[in-house]
């Protein structure tokens, strides 16, 4: 019995070594539109069921190593600059994929922030939808600086005026200070402003144009403002019922 066990362990070790040898990497540099490289930029790769994160070095360059062969979404962000995202970055076995990322200085919005309670937020929204994000792919009509998603409507608490478009497209602003781009498969409860036919806009947190609650594991994980943070941890069923109660009162 002992020799058989030894053979199994040796085979497992050999397999682990073989799998490790198949890992690839994504390497490159982060710069702005003037070709000035940006030290300290955070670079994140998500795909194949995992996430890798690193920070650009003093030359503005980065390396994401030990990545299993797969297709990845790669995002770079740095305070004061727009987020920049590239989808479907393919990593081949035992190979380095070169990906340079170019961002730009974020514009400064001189505006009055709107900090509503849930009822005020409901009143201002053109639509209140519980959605699950699916594929993310740029299209010619996608505004510069936005990320384009298709979304499946799970619950419509406040329908948009007129027939609801199908499919729903969600545009996410990637301005400085925004969280990581929303991922395929994530659920959102979005208070939305119409931006174009068949489209709604998700802007950075704190904007009156739209506000988003992120749902994970059946509960609210992130709220759009400090005033609404009391909903973090609330079961999605309870939150939806509160919204439906608001809808019946209007």
Q: Which residues of 41-64 are buried (b: 16+ CB within 10 A; e: fewer)?
A: bbbbbbbeeeebeeebeeebbbeb
In a domain, 239, yes or no: yes
In a domain, 13, yes or no: no
Tokens of 217: 């594991």
Q: Residue 104 and residue 82: Cα distance in Å, rounded?
A: 6
In a domain, 9, yes or no: no
Same domain (yes/no): 87, 145? no
Question: Of 73, 103, 133, which residue is a domain's last?
Answer: 103
DSSP secondary structure of 162-207: SSPPSSEEEEEE--TT--SPPPTT-EEEEEEEEEETTEEEE--TT-
Same domain (yes/no): 187, 222? yes
Question: Helix, strand or coil for residue 208?
Answer: coil
- The per-residue pLDDT for 166 is 66
Residue entry with tokens 């499946």: 152
Q: Residue 151 and residue 136: Cα distance in Å, rounded?
A: 9
Report the half-sphere exposure of 67 (CA within 13 A, side-chain side): 29
Same domain (yes/no): 85, 200? no
Q: Could you tell me where the DSSP H helices lie in the chain?
A: 2-22, 118-124, 236-249
In a domain, 134, yes or no: yes
Same domain (yes/no): 244, 185? yes
- The per-residue pLDDT for 198 is 55
Q: Residue 138 and residue 206: Cα distance in Å, rounded?
A: 25
Same domain (yes/no): 45, 160? no
- What lies within 8 Å, CB to CB, of 94 at 6+ separation is 21, 22, 23, 24
Same domain (yes/no): 144, 49? no
- The per-residue pLDDT for 179 is 59
- The pTM score is 0.58
CATH number, position 91: 2.60.40.1120
C-alpha 27 chain-centroid distance: 21
Nearest partner of 67 among 88, 95, 101, judged by Cα: 95
In a domain, 11, yes or no: no
CATH number, position 229: 2.40.50.120
Total domains in the chain come to 2
Tokens of 213: 């609650």
C-alpha 124 chain-centroid distance: 24
Same domain (yes/no): 237, 145? yes
In a domain, 244, yes or no: yes
Q: Residue 69 and residue 220: Cα distance in Å, rounded?
A: 33
In a domain, 217, yes or no: yes
Q: Which residues of 15-32 are buried (b: 16+ CB within 10 A; e: fewer)?
A: eeeeeeeeebbbbbbbbb
Question: Of 75, 103, 131, which residue is a domain's last?
Answer: 103
Which residue segment(s) compose the domain that 55 sits in? Answer: 24-103
In a domain, 75, yes or no: yes
Same domain (yes/no): 42, 96? yes
On whether the CB atoms of residues 160 and 199 are closer than 8 A, the answer is no
Same domain (yes/no): 89, 205? no
Question: Of 103, 133, 155, which residue is a domain's last?
Answer: 103
Same domain (yes/no): 123, 177? yes
Same domain (yes/no): 126, 98? no
Neighbouring-strand partners of residue 29 = 61
Taking the chain (250 residues) in consecutive chunks of 10 residues, what is each chunk's mean pLDDT?
A: 29 38 91 92 89 93 95 90 90 95 74 66 85 76 72 86 68 62 80 63 48 89 86 95 87
Same domain (yes/no): 170, 48? no
Tokens of 248: 């019946």
On whether the CB atoms of residues 104 and 32 are closer than 8 A, the answer is yes
């Amino acid at each position: 019995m002992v020799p058989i066990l030894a053979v199994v362990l040796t085979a497992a070790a050999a397999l682990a070594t073989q799998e490790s040898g198949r890992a690839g990497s994504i390497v490159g540099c982060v710069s702005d539109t003037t070709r000035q490289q940006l030290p300290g930029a955070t670079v994140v790769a998500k795909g194949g069921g995992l996430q890798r994160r690193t920070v650009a070095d003093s030359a503005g360059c980065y390396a994401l190593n030990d990545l299993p062969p797969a297709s990845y979404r790669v995002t770079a962000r740095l305070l004061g600059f727009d987020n920049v995202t590239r989808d479907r970055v393919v990593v081949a076995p035992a190979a380095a994929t070169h990906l340079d990322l170019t961002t730009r200085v974020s514009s400064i919005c001189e505006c009055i922030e709107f900090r509503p309670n849930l009822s005020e937020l409901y009143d201002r929204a053109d639509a209140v939808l519980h959605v699950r994000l699916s594929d993310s792919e740029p299209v010619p009509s996608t505004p510069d600086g936005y990320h384009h998603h298709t979304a499946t409507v799970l619950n419509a608490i406040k329908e948009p005026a007129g027939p609801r478009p199908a499919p729903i497209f969600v545009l996410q602003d990637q301005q400085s200070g925004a969280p990581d781009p929303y991922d395929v498969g994530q659920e959102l409860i979005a208070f939305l402003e119409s931006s174009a036919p068949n489209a709604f806009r998700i802007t950075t947190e704190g904007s009156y144009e739209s506000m988003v609650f992120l749902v994970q594991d059946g509960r609210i994980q992130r709220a759009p403002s400090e005033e609404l943070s009391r909903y973090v941890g609330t079961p999605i069923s309870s939150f939806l019922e509160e919204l439906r109660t608001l809808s019946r009162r209007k």
